Amino acid sequence: MAKRDYYEVLGVGKGASDNDIKRSYRRMAMKYHPDKNPGNAEAEAKFKECAEAYEVLSDPEKRKRYDQFGHDGLRGVGMRDYSHMRWQDISSIFEDVFEGFGGIGDIFGMGGRRGRRAGPARGYDLETTVELSLADIAGGTEKTIEFTRQDTCTACSGSGSAKGKAPGRCPTCGGSGQVQRAGLGGFFQMVSTCPKCQGAGKIITNPCKKCRGTGLVSAKRTLSVKIPAGVHEGQGIRVASEGEPGRNGGPRGDLYCYVRVRAHPFLMRDGNDLLSTVPVSFTQAALGATVEVPSLDGTRELKIPPGTQHGSTFRIKGEGLPDLRTGRKGDELVRIAIEIPKRLSAEQENLLRAFAETEDADIMPQSSGFFEKLKKHFGEG
């Protein structure tokens, strides 16, 4: 399924400012948030779609590439794979968008991300694309891919604090990571994540200059990915532990390489079969012939019988693509297209007219034009 335009997803124009984009994402996220639409799979999908659009349009470099090249321009930039991500994790990624609103968790009464930052958390998955030829798919291959991902800052070892400077205790929650608020009538207390430290209990007072206190830096990554034979357009190859680093000692996420198949000049794919169209002359079709047809590794000879009709299809066993699970190969289906010559020599024309007389075919005499025959017909009428 083709991805929608990111500006359309967020309901903004291409000239929208950063604040416009942020406000629009906040509105759309609140509209489609799964807590507001329990059990609604469509709303959850739109919630994830909005997050993906916001990641691109809120990042100057990604937005520039998207404006210039569209979705293809985002290949290799380490996009998060939102379709495989829990919506709860998406909410935590863009928590800062809802600052001043008590956090997205408080908006929907979730109590924030209570305790989430205290323990280890798995890193986010990333996605990229890998372009393959039909020959690559036929035999399997190994591709070198390059992409950009967030890595742990080496200057501060991911702490976010300048070297030798420890984070300070959060003054808002006193280091607990939680704040209490009086409930209705003052009879009970509501506990939620501290909006100042986002549940960490600590704040960075002297941020690392390299990562600016985030603990993460963008880094280019090159690796080799094995592609199994028989993969299809849009399928994802999972590369374990090549996503973003986890928090508080948690494991890395994964990288998903989604397959894009390059068009072949002569062959098209239909499941595990390959389709081709081969032109032949009408004499070859009428008398029978042996013709060359394209295949993945050169050409093959195909014998067509006398009297072959336009559109006839012939099957060459085992010349298709392997099944991803069983390895069994499909076939190549060759469709015959009969070509009629646009120009004939005098000798060829005489031969054809002589042939036409033997089959009693009603053809236009050489000396009579179309309009002459038309006048003669209506004049006799």
More confident residue, 110 or 38: 38
Cα atoms found within 13 Å of the Cα of residue 229, Cβ hemisphere only: 14
The pLDDT score that the predictor gives to residue 228 is 96
Could you check whether 1-112 and 268-339 share the same CATH topology?
no
The pLDDT score that the predictor gives to residue 80 is 82
Is pLDDT above 70 for 178? yes
More confident residue, 182 or 330: 330
Please, is 37 exposed, middle or buried when counting C-beta atoms within 10 Å of its C-beta (0-12, 13-18, 19+)? middle
For the chain, give every domain's residue range: 1-112, 117-154+213-262, 268-339, 346-380
Structure tokens, 236: 């994802």
- Low-confidence winner among 126-140, 165-179, 298-312 (lowest mean pLDDT): 165-179
pTM for the whole structure: 0.66
The pLDDT score that the predictor gives to residue 6 is 95
**Homologous superfamily assigned to 268-339:** Urease metallochaperone UreE, N-terminal domain (2.60.260.20)
Is pLDDT above 80 for 190? no
Average pLDDT, the chain: 85
Taking only the tens place, the pLDDT of each residue in 202-220 is: 888 899 999 988 899 999 9
Architecture of domain 1-112: Orthogonal Bundle (1.10)
Taking only the tens place, the pLDDT of each residue in 217-245 is: 999 999 999 999 999 998 989 999 999 99
pLDDT band at 162 (very low <50, low <70, confident <90, very high): very high
pLDDT > 70: percent of the chain:
85
Taking only the tens place, the pLDDT of each residue in 8-61 is: 999 999 999 998 999 899 888 888 988 788 889 999 999 999 999 999 999 898
Q: Please give the Cα distance from 307 to 288 (Å, whole number).
A: 7
Taking only the tens place, the pLDDT of each residue in 47-85 is: 999 999 999 999 898 999 999 999 888 887 778 878 777
Tally of CB atoms within 10 A around 93: 15
**Homologous superfamily assigned to 117-154+213-262:** Urease metallochaperone UreE, N-terminal domain (2.60.260.20)
